[in-house]
Amino acid sequence: MSLVMGAMASAAVGTAAQLGVADVLAQGPATAPELAKAVDADADSLGSVLQALTALGVFTRDEQGRYANSPLSEPLRSDHPESVRNLAALLCGLYGHAATGGLTEAVRTGTSVMPTAFGVSLYEYLDQHPDSARIFDRAMEDWARPIGTVLAEHVPFAGVRTVVDVGGGNGTLLKAILTAHPHLRGVCVDRPDTCRRAEAELAASGSADLADRLTFQPADILHEVPAGGDLYILKNVLHDWSSESGVQILRNIRRAVVPEGATPTEDSSKLLVIDPLVEHDSGAAFRNLVKMVVGEAQARERSEADMRREAKEAGFHVLSITPCPADLSITACTPV
Ligand SMILES: C[S@@+](CC[C@H](N)C(=O)[O-])C[C@H]1O[C@@H](n2cnc3c(N)ncnc32)[C@H](O)[C@@H]1O
């Protein structure tokens, strides 16, 4: 029954994340009415959600009925270094909503869940719902934050001038890399809507140095990837697409790296594909379900062999595959 009630637990976590309950509790314990006032919610309804989450160990409750954060709810705080607040809001909210509404039908028909549940693909939905799109951008930020630091430390950037992050969201990864390597410039390629929001946020952040070195370039990566990078990164993008579309994206990067008719040389730009690969991903089974919910039909997590085959089809040779934190693997590729 605890599995059967899982959707309720997930929805309750998502509600606490979205309302920012853990942020309020970071200032000290509070009763349900006090919390409801702070997050603009109904006290009785919020009380029910808090009681359920306390039963699950997410919050604690003392004899005076005051709730407090526990180690489980700490990462739901916006300012936690490993915050998953927006990831929880997205996965327990929009993704959960889609899964409960459309998974059965999508399994029957072999289609993607999102269009079955909402009539549109994930990105069409985000284009139409700016509030969800903002949560999505920030959720990707939660996802990208840990790996940004790892890349900044371990990738040799000495000979690189411009890094292009393909499908780079709001530029979180590039911000970490550019902050650690002041000689670098970054180009974040994403959908026009995402670029517009990210550009405005960067301008408002007051970081003149980053605003000077980081640019956002709108493009449809299924059709074209801008040239001009010494190093290309493709993180958490490939597994959202079928093998056919994945190869198309990789071919577009190959075309950006080696112009039509030219021959690759030792100095040609390299590509790092950063995605979970089945062999090194402890959560592969569930992540594949997420792909079914929000990815293109037939989007699946790749194995090492899939990765090598798709890279080869697109004109790349795989130099190395390195497992790294957060269940991700880095596949380093060079054009052939
Ligand atoms: C799963 S997110 C990953 C974001 C980022 N790379 C990260 O790891 O945090 C996929 C990204 O691809 C972008 N994207 C999806 N379809 C695209 C397209 N056709 N052209 C350009 N960007 C696209 C989305 O807007 C989103 O930012």
285 lies in the same domain as 227: yes
72 lies in the same domain as 185: no
Place of tokens 């993180």: 235
Question: For residue 91, is it within any domain?
Answer: no
CA of 137 to the centre of ligand 1 (A): 9
> What is the residue range of 204's domain?
120-335
Burial of residue 21 (CB within 10 Å: 0-12, 13-18, 19+) is buried
Best of 83, 123, 177, 223 for a ligand 1 pocket test (most atoms within 8 Å of beta carbon): 123
CA of 336 to the centre of ligand 1 (A): 26
**91 C-beta closer than 6 A to ligand 1:** no
pLDDT at 285: 86
**225 C-beta closer than 6 A to ligand 1:** no
pLDDT at 91 over 90: yes
**86 C-beta closer than 6 A to ligand 1:** no
Helix (H) or strand (E) holding 269: none
The mean per-residue pLDDT over the stretch 57-74 comes to: 98
pLDDT at 326: 85
Best of 237, 238, 290 for a ligand 1 pocket test (most atoms within 8 Å of beta carbon): 237
pLDDT digits (tens, 9 = 90+) for 70-89: 999 999 999 999 999 999 99
| Alpha helices (H) in 262-328, listed in sequence order | 284-294, 304-313
Question: For residue 21, is it within any domain?
Answer: yes
Closest residue to atom 22 of ligand 1, CA basis: 190
62 lies in the same domain as 130: no
CA 268 to chain centroid: 28
317 lies in the same domain as 237: yes
232 lies in the same domain as 289: yes
Q: Please state, in angstroms and rounded to a whole number, the distance separating the CA atoms of residues 176 and 331.
A: 20
pLDDT digits (tens, 9 = 90+) for 110-145: 999 999 999 999 999 999 999 999 999 999 999 888
CA of 24 to the centre of ligand 1 (A): 31
CA 266 to chain centroid: 32
Closest atom of ligand 1 to 220 CA is: 20
Q: From 323, 223, 161, 315, select the one nearest 333 (Cα to Cα).
A: 315
Question: For residue 298, is it within any domain?
Answer: yes
278 lies in the same domain as 149: yes
Q: From 217, 285, 289, 275, select the one nearest 246 (Cα to Cα).
A: 275
Question: CATH no. for residue 187?
Answer: 3.40.50.150
The mean per-residue pLDDT over the stretch 143-165 comes to: 92
The mean per-residue pLDDT over the stretch 39-53 comes to: 98
User: How many structural domains compose the chain?
Assistant: 2
210 lies in the same domain as 330: yes
**220 C-beta closer than 6 A to ligand 1:** yes
- C-alpha dist (Å) from residue 68 to 16, 32, 61: 13, 11, 6
User: 317 - beta bridge partners?
Assistant: 334
Closest residue to atom 13 of ligand 1, CA basis: 167
Question: For residue 90, is it within any domain?
Answer: no
Place of tokens 């999102």: 114
pLDDT at 26: 98
pLDDT at 238: 96
124 lies in the same domain as 47: no
Per DSSP, the residues of 219-254 read: --TTT---S--SEEEEES-GGGS-HHHHHHHHHHHH
Q: Please state, in angstroms and rounded to a whole number, the distance separating the CA atoms of residues 334 and 253.
A: 11
pLDDT digits (tens, 9 = 90+) for 181-225: 999 999 999 999 999 999 999 999 999 999 999 999 999 999 999
pLDDT at 40: 98
196 lies in the same domain as 309: yes
pLDDT at 260: 84
The mean per-residue pLDDT over the stretch 15-35 comes to: 98
What does pTM read for this prediction?
A: 0.93
189 lies in the same domain as 42: no
pLDDT at 143: 86
Question: For residue 283, is it within any domain?
Answer: yes
Neighbouring residues of 266: CB distance < 8 A, sequence distance ≥ 6: none
Closest atom of ligand 1 to 137 CA is: 27
Question: CATH no. for residue 58?
Answer: 1.10.10.10
Closest atom of ligand 1 to 170 CA is: 27
Model confidence band, residue 173 (pLDDT cutoffs 50, 70, 90): very high
pLDDT digits (tens, 9 = 90+) for 241-284: 999 999 999 999 999 999 888 999 988 999 999 999 999 999 98
The mean per-residue pLDDT over the stretch 329-334 comes to: 97
